[in-house]
Amino acid sequence: MFAPLVVVGGLIFGFGLGYSHMARPEVVIDFLLFEDLGLLFVMFGGSIVAGLGFWVLPRLRDGAPLTGRPYERRLKSFDRNVLVGGVVFGVGWGLAGICPGAAYASLGVGNWPILYAIAGMFIGAYAQGIWRSQRSTDADAVPSDD
Amino acid sequence: MLEGLAGFFPNGVERYAVGGLLVGLGTLVVYAGTGIAAGASTFLESTLSYVSDASRFQQYRPSRDWRVLFTVSIVLGAAVYAVLFQGGAWTTGVEPWRLFVGGIFVGVGTRIGKGCTSGHGICGVGSASRTSLIGVATFVLVAIVTANVIAALGGGL
């Protein structure tokens, strides 16, 4: 059941990114230039629906049916990395008008040049991973889950 | 007042609101069944564990298979949208160098910053996480500055 559920969730997620036009870098860049603020509705629409799950599900049952995992909110510890990463991510988002989920969806809507962005993302993720693996101080006991 | 607001929404709000609700619903489906708040960017590192033994990637090994499945499903879901509503393929006019260089920054930043627009922006904000709200505020502000600087330098679309 686990795999089919992931597929259904991914299909809806991807369809939503296509429908909301987030798979189009131009639309994100228009938001950042204050020409079309529609992106606000995407983020808040999405977070409200997800938020309902985070608040309602724990009150309905103790854990998830497929894994037994407790229903917990997504809470990451705050440290300097959140700001540093946020700044670096922001530069990339402003340059390319694309984020990871939207990039996968962009491939789905037939936007083949997005492969440049996806290649860049893998190179960036690889570079920081190698660098952080070599630094024992960054043991990072709690990996980020997105 | 309302007319002034409408100027900020030249394409209306229906596509954005409905699309956003669906993005949230996709997240909710996975979370309801598994208790996992799946973001989109962990896929980058978990997939790299197939080709690299670095500890940073290997820590995601347990989830790497389903994350590939999740990402392929995102691609297919968007393809369904393209077939039904877009009348075929659409391609961007944003220059390849912007996509590539921006992609590198996104790849580095999302992993250091513990999340991206879906992890922090959808799941984190939905969890009322202070960390995620600060993360989102940071990358939105920096992205606004970046996009406007590029536009001012003549890198407009």
Q: Which of B91, B27, B130, B32 is nearest to A49 (CA)?
A: B27
A92 to chain B, any CB pair closer than 8 A? The answer is yes
Is B104 an interface residue toward A (CB < 8 Å)?
yes
CA distance B41 to B113: 11
Question: How far does the CA of residue A95 sit from the closest CA of chain B (Å)?
Answer: 5
CA-based end-to-end distance of chain B: 29
- Going A45 to B40 to A36 to A110, the CA torsion angle's sign is negative
Q: How far apart are CA B41 and CA B26, in angstroms?
A: 15
Distance from CA of B27 to the nearest CA of A (A): 6
* C-alpha dihedral, A136 to A69 to A122 to B145, nearest 10°: -90
CA angle B112, B117, B118 (to 5 degrees): 105
Sign, Cα dihedral of B33, B35, B38, B42:
negative
Q: Looking at beta carbons, which residues of chain B come within 8 Å of A136? A: none
Residue-wise pLDDT for A124-135, tens only, equals 999 999 999 988
pLDDT in tens, B72-97: 999 999 999 999 999 999 999 999 99
Q: Is the pLDDT of residue B155 over 80?
A: no
Given a cut of 70, the residues of chain A with pLDDT beneath it are 136-146
Query: Which chain A residue shows the shortest CA-CA distance from B97?
Result: A116
Please give, one letter per residue, the 3-state secondary structure of chain B.
CHHHHHCCCCCCCHHHHHHHHHHHHHHHHHHHHHCCCCCCCHHHHHHHCCCCCCHHHHCCHHHHHHHHHHHHHHHHHHHHHHHHHHCCCCCCCCCHHHHHHHHHHHHHHHHHCCCCCCHHHHHHHHCCCHHHHHHHHHHHHHHHHHHHHHHHCCCCC
**Mean pLDDT over each residue of chain B, to the nearest integer:** 95
pLDDT classification of B4: cutoffs 50, 70, 90 = confident
Q: Is B144 on the interface with A (CB under 8 A)?
A: yes
Which of A24, A33, A100 lies at the smallest CB-CB distance from B148?
A33
Six token digits for residue B23: 């993005």
Q: Does B68 touch chain A (CB under 8 A)?
A: no
Domain boundaries, chain B: 92-157
Tell me: pLDDT of B57 over 70.
yes
Q: Is A60 on the interface with B (CB under 8 A)?
A: no
- Segment 107-126 of chain B within 8 Å of chain A by CB: 107-126
Roughly how many angstroms between the first and final C-alpha of chain A, as a whole number? 22
Among candidates A6, A32, A46 on the partner chain, residue whose Cβ is nearest the Cβ of B143: A32
> ∠B134-A26-A115 over CA atoms, to 5°?
90
